[in-house]
Amino acid sequence: MHINESAENYLETILVLSRTHPVVRSVDIAEELGFKKSSVSVAMKNLREKEHITVTKEGFIYLTPSGKEIAEMIYERHELFTKWLIQLGVDEKVAAEDACKIEHDISKESFEAIKNHIKML
C-alpha cells in the first residue's frame, strides 16, 4: 500500500497524540503540527475516505487497523533514526528533523537492515 508523506505524518501525529490525550481532535492535530484547522480537516477527510481513520460525530479521531499499522511503522522509524543520530553526535533537534525526512523514503528492507545493525552495536 502506498501512502504519501503528508498522510504518514498525520497518522503518526494521531498516534502520538492518542498516547497523551484522552481523545484526538482536528484542533489538537492542527496545534501539534502548526497547521490551519481547515488544512487538517481536508487531510482528515482524505484519511477517512482511505479508511485509515474514523471520526465520531463529536469529532474524535481514531486510527483504524490500517492507519495504526502505518503510524506505528513511521513512529518506529522516527524513534530509531532520532536516537541513532543523537548517538552519532548530531544535535537532538537536527536529529529529529533529519529522522523525519529519512523515515518516509527508506525501504522496508533497508530499514530492517539498519535496525538489525544498530541492535548488534
pLDDT band per the 50, 70, 90 thresholds, residue 97: very high
Same domain (yes/no): 16, 44: yes
pLDDT band per the 50, 70, 90 thresholds, residue 1: low
Q: pLDDT of 45-91, one tens digit each? A: 999 999 999 999 999 999 999 999 999 999 999 999 999 999 999 99
* Closest CA relative to residue 23, chosen from 58, 68, 74: 58
Same domain (yes/no): 14, 64: yes
Q: 16: domain range?
A: 5-69
* Whether the Cβ atoms of residue 90 and residue 28 lie closer than 8 Å to each other: no
Rounded Cα gap, residues 86 and 79, in angstroms = 11
Same domain (yes/no): 52, 108: no
Same domain (yes/no): 61, 76: no
| Number of other residues whose CB lies within 10 A of the CB of residue 52 | 25
Same domain (yes/no): 29, 58: yes
With a cut of 60, say whether residue 114 has pLDDT above it. yes
Domain count, the chain: 2
The residue among 47 and 1 whose pLDDT is bigger is 47
* Whether the Cβ atoms of residue 104 and residue 5 lie closer than 8 Å to each other: yes
- Residue 55 sits in a domain of what CATH number? 1.10.10.10
Q: pLDDT of 16-53, one tens digit each? A: 999 999 999 999 999 999 999 999 999 999 999 999 99
Same domain (yes/no): 45, 89: no
Statement: the pTM of the whole predicted model exceeds 0.95: no
Same domain (yes/no): 54, 92: no
pLDDT band per the 50, 70, 90 thresholds, residue 111: very high
